[in-house]
Amino acid sequence: MSEIIRLCPRCGAEYREGFSICSDCHVPLVSRLDTEAGDPLVPLAMETSFDLVAELLDRFEKKAIPYVIEAGTALRCLDDETAALYEPEDWQARIYVVSSRQKDAAGILADVKFRRQLERLPGAPRRQEEDQ
């Protein structure tokens, strides 16, 4: 007799028969993931550090996390078509990820920010490239 596997539609976690709610996302489990409806993009972060964003996207690429980024010095014009912008604003980036990988992406973002904070401490070792 095969066991029925239940899935979380948000994070993709698998549960054995008898569970009905994802313990991480707190959403009802399903018997199969609906791929026809797609995997909607959800906002992850708004960042102003080009270097942080570059590192984050590199990590997303290595972990095969689908993402979209809107970046530049005129993002306000995307939000308000009537906005009059005569000089560039500070650079910023909006980062979106597919909802099924939001938890993974948020963990990577937290790790990148944490590592950057550690590097600012007095006596901190210099950054080394990593293969994550």
Q: What is the pLDDT of residues 68-77, one digit of tens each?
A: 999 999 988 8
- 35 confidence band (pLDDT: 50, 70, 90): very low
Domains of the chain: 1-37 (2.20.28), 39-119 (3.30.70.790)
pLDDT score, position 1: 41
Q: Which pLDDT tens digit goes with each residue over 18-33?
A: 888 888 878 788 776 5
User: Residue 53 in contact with residue 95, Cβ under 8 Å?
Assistant: yes
* 108 DSSP assignment: H
Query: Strands 92-98 and 67-72: what pairing?
Result: antiparallel
C-alpha 103/C-alpha 82 separation (Å) is 35
Predicted pLDDT at 110: 96
Which has more confidence, 79 or 110? 110
* Mean predicted confidence (pLDDT) in 76-94: 87
Residue 65's pLDDT is what?
93
Mean pLDDT of 30-53: 79
In this prediction, residues 66-85 reach a mean pLDDT of 87
pTM over cut 0.75: no
CA distance 118 to 124: 7
Contact between 94 and 75 under an 8 Å Cβ cutoff? The reply is yes
Amino acid letter, 97 = V
Does pLDDT of 95 surpass 90? yes
CA atoms within 13 A on the CB side of 84: 0
The DSSP bridge partners found for residue 84 are none
Q: What is the pLDDT of residue 40?
A: 82
